[in-house]
C-alpha cells in the first residue's frame, strides 16, 4: 500500500486509513449497502419484510465463507457477484432470492465505497483538529518572535514566526471547510440499475434510492448515472489542495531546519540516526515524508479527472481509475496529516538563531522603513532612490548600511543619526504579525473543537 515504505512508518502511528481500504472492510461496506437496499425495498413493499430482515441479519462478513468467495472471484473475475452469491446462500431459502434485487454492481460498490470514504473523512477531520490545535498553541507562543520575512528567497521585511503559522492555520481551515461543504454532493446513494435508468425498479426506483440514503445517512442522486464521477473527482481535488498546503508547510520547516538557517527543528527523538556514514546528521525525516506523500496525493488529481471521462452509460475502466485514486489519495493523505501533526506538536523554534539571521544584512531588512520615513519629507520615489543607493553600496561593497545613511546629506537633512539607528531596529517593524497570529490561534482552536466533535 502507498506509504508503507516511508522511513518514519515505525515511529508514527498509522491513523487507520490502510485498514479502511483493505478488501475486507470494503466488502463489509458493500454488504451494508445490500442490507440497506433490502430494508428500503421492504419499506416500500417491493420485497417481503421477513426477507429484508433475514438479509440484513446475514450481511456480516464474519458469516461469509471466505474460501467460497475467493473461489468465486478466481472463477468469475467479477468484482461483486461471488459476494452476492455467498450472501444469498447464507440467507438461505426462501429469502436469499431477494438479495441484490434490481441493483447493479456499481450501485453497491460505489455507494459502499462512499461509506468507507466517510470513515476516512472522519479520520481526516480528527487529524486536522489535532493539527490546528497544535498550530494554535505554536502561533500564540511565537506571535511576537521576530524573524526575517523572505520573498524570492531573500530578506524582505521583518515578520514573526507566529505570523507564518497563522498563514498555515488560515489555509488549513479553508480546506476543512471545503471537505465539509462537499459532503452533500459526495455522500449520495446510487441505485439506477444497469444503465442508471431505473428500468429494473421503475417508479419505485427513486423512493428506494432515497430510503437507502436515509438508512445510510446519505443523500440520493437525482440522476443515478454510472457515468457521473465529478463528485468523486471533487473529493480528490480537495485532498490535492490539502496536500499542497501540507507539502508547503513540510518544505518550509525542511528549509528552516537547514544548517544555514537553523531556525526550527522537527522532532528528532534520541537515538534517531540520520546517516549510516555521517554521525552528525539530524535529518528532517518527517518533513521529507510529508513532502513526498503530499506529492503523491497531488499527482492523483489529474488521474481522478481522467476518471471522469466515462464512455456512454458506464465504463469499468474509469471506475477502476476512480477507485484507485480514492484509496491511494486517502492513505497518502492520512500519512501526510499524521506526520504533520507530529511536526507541529513537537516543533522546536530557536528565537536566538532567528534574531541572528534577522541581523545578517546589517539593517538592510529595514530599508523600507527608512524609505517611508524619508519619503514623508522628500517623496516616496525620491526616497526610494536615496535608500537604494545606500542599500546597494552596503551589499556590494560590504559597508555598513547605517553608516552610509548617516553619511548621506540627502538623509541627514531630514533625519538625525539617532532616528536612523532607531529605524534600523527590525523588532519594531513587524506590522500586525502578532495580532494576526493571535487571531489565527483563536480561530484555529475554535475550528479544532468543531472538527473533533
Q: What is the C-alpha radius of gyration for the chain, rounded to an integer number of angstroms?
A: 30
What is the C-alpha to C-alpha distance for residues 313 and 228, in angstroms, rounded to an integer?
9
Grid coordinates given for 17: 486509513
Q: Which run of H or E residues covers position 189?
A: strand 188-189
What is the C-alpha to C-alpha distance for residues 186 and 368, in angstroms, rounded to an integer?
49
Q: What is the DSSP string of 307-375?
A: TT---TT--HHHHHHHHHHHHHHHHHHHHHHHHHHHHHHH-EE-HHHHHHHHTTTTTGGGHHHHHHHHH
Cis peptide before 393 (omega within 30 of 0): no
Q: Is 382 a catalytic residue?
A: no
Task: Please give the DSSP secondary-structure letter assigned to residue 158.
Answer: E
Q: Which run of H or E residues covers position 293?
A: helix 285-306
What is the C-alpha to C-alpha distance for residues 228 and 283, in angstroms, rounded to an integer?
45
Q: What is the DSSP string of 255-292?
A: HHTSTTT-SEE----TT----SS-TT----HHHHHHHH
What is the C-alpha to C-alpha distance for residues 396 and 75, in angstroms, rounded to an integer?
77
Q: Is 299 a catalytic residue?
A: no
Burial (Cβ within 10 Å: 0-12, 13-18, ≥19) of residue 209 = buried
What is the C-alpha to C-alpha distance for residues 127 and 15, in angstroms, rounded to an integer?
8
Burial (Cβ within 10 Å: 0-12, 13-18, ≥19) of residue 119 = middle
How many C-alpha atoms does 209 have within 13 Å on its Cβ side?
Answer: 30
Choice among 13, 78, 220, 275 that is catalytic: 275
Choice among 152, 175, 231, 382 that is catalytic: 152
How many C-alpha atoms does 199 have within 13 Å on its Cβ side?
Answer: 7
Strand partners, 265: 348
| Residues designated catalytic | 152, 275
Amino acid at each position: 500500500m502507498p506509504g508503507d515504505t516511508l522511513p518514519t512508518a515505525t515511529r508514527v502511528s498509522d491513523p487507520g486509513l490502510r485498514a479502511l481500504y483493505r478488501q475486507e472492510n470494503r466488502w463489509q461496506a458493500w454488504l451494508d449497502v445490500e442490507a440497506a437496499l433490502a430494508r428500503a425495498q421492504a419499506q416500500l413493499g417491493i420485497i417481503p419484510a421477513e426477507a429484508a430482515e433475514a438479509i440484513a441479519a446475514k450481511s456480516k462478513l464474519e458469516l461469509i465463507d471466505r474460501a467460497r468467495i475467493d473461489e468465486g472471484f478466481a472463477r468469475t473475475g467479477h468484482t461483486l457477484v461471488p459476494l452476492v452469491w455467498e450472501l444469498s446462500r447464507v440467507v438461505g431459502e426462501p429469502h436469499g432470492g431477494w438479495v441484490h434485487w434490481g441493483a447493479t454492481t456499481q450501485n453497491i460498490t460505489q455507494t459502499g465505497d462512499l461509506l468507507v470514504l466517510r470513515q476516512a473523512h472522519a479520520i481526516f477531520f480528527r487529524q486536522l483538529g489535532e493539527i490546528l490545535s497544535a498550530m494554535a498553541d505554536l502561533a500564540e507562543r511565537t506571535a511576537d518572535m521576530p524573524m526575517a520575512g523572505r520573498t524570492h528567497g531573500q530578506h524582505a521585511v521583518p515578520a514573526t514566526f507566529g505570523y507564518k503559522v497563522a498563514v498555515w492555520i488560515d489555509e488549513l481551515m479553508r480546506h476543512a471547510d471545503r471537505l465539509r461543504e462537499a459532503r452533500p454532493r459526495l455522500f449520495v446513494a446510487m441505485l439506477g440499475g444497469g444503465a442508471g435508468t431505473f428500468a429494473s425498479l421503475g417508479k419505485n426506483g427513486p423512493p428506494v434510492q432515497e430510503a437507502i440514503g436515509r438508512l445510510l445517512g446519505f443523500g440520493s442522486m437525482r440522476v443515478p448515472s454510472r457515468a457521473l464521477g465529478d463528485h468523486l473527482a471533487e473529493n480528490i481535488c480537495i485532498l490535492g489542495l490539502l496536500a499542497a498546503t501540507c507539502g508547503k508547510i513540510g518544505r518550509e520547516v525542511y528549509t528552516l531546519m537547514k544548517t544555514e538557517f537553523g531556525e526550527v527543528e522537527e522532532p528528532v527523538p534520541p537515538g534517531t540516526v540520520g546517516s549510516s556514514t555521517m554521525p552528525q546528521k539530524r535529518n528532517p525525516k518527517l518533513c521529507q515524508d510529508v513532502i513526498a506523500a503530499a506529492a503523491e496525493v497531488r499527482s492523483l488529481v489529474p488521474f481522478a479527472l481522467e476518471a471522469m471521462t466515462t464512455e456512454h452509460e458506464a465504463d469499468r475502466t474509469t471506475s477502476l481509475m476512480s477507485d484507485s485514486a480514492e484509496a491511494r489519495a486517502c492513505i497518502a493523505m492520512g500519512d501526510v496529516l499524521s506526520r504533520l501533526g507530529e511536526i507541529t506538536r513537537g516543533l522546536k523554534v530557536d528565537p536566538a538563531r532567528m534574531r541572528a539571521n534577522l541581523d545578517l544584512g546589517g539593517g538592510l531588512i529595514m530599508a523600507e522603513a527608512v524609505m517611508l520615513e524619508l519619503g514623508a519629507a522628500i517623496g516616496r520615489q525620491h526616497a526610494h532612490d536615496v535608500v537604494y543607493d545606500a542599500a546597494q553600496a552596503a551589499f556590494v561593497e560590504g559597508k555598513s548600511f547605517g553608516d552610509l545613511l548617516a553619511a548621506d546629506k540627502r538623509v541627514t537633512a531630514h533625519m538625525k543619526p539617532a532616528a536612523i539607528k532607531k529605524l534600523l531596529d527590525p523588532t519594531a517593524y513587524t506590522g500586525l504579525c502578532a495580532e494576526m497570529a493571535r487571531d489565527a490561534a483563536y480561530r484555529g482552536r475554535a475550528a479544532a473543537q468543531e472538527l473533533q466533535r
